[in-house]
Amino acid sequence: MEVKIGVQHAPREIVLESGLAAEELESVIAAALSGESQLLSLTDVKGRKVLVPTDRLSYVDIGEPSTRKVGFGA
């Protein structure tokens, strides 16, 4: 799933491709926002870990994975 994270006082959003399903991502994000932890921790499909302080989150957008188009008709 493609995840876009908006961070307060940051000019760009964080975009990553996660191997988790939408329901799993939503539960991880909800747990972080409920105050259980001070960091939102997500790992992308390449193994890189993204840590964002929960008090700095503006929004989290969970969407479909992006498909790469090949060829001139793309």
CATH assignment at residue 42: 2.30.30
According to the model, what pLDDT value does residue 57 have? 93
CB 8 within 8 A of CB 57: yes
Helix (H) or strand (E) holding 1: none
DSSP for 27-45, please give it: HHHHHHHTTS-SEEEEEBT
Query: Which residues on adjacent β-strands are paired with residue 39?
Result: 53
For 4-13, what is the mean pLDDT? 94
Domain count along the chain: 1
Give every CB contact of residue 26 below 8 A, 6+ residues apart in sequence: 62
Domain hosting 18: range is 2-63
Summarize pLDDT for 13-71 with one digit per residue, the tens.
999 999 999 899 999 999 998 988 899 999 999 999 999 999 999 999 998 766 666 77
Q: Is residue 23 part of a domain?
A: yes
CB 16 within 8 A of CB 63: no
Q: Is residue 51 part of a domain?
A: yes
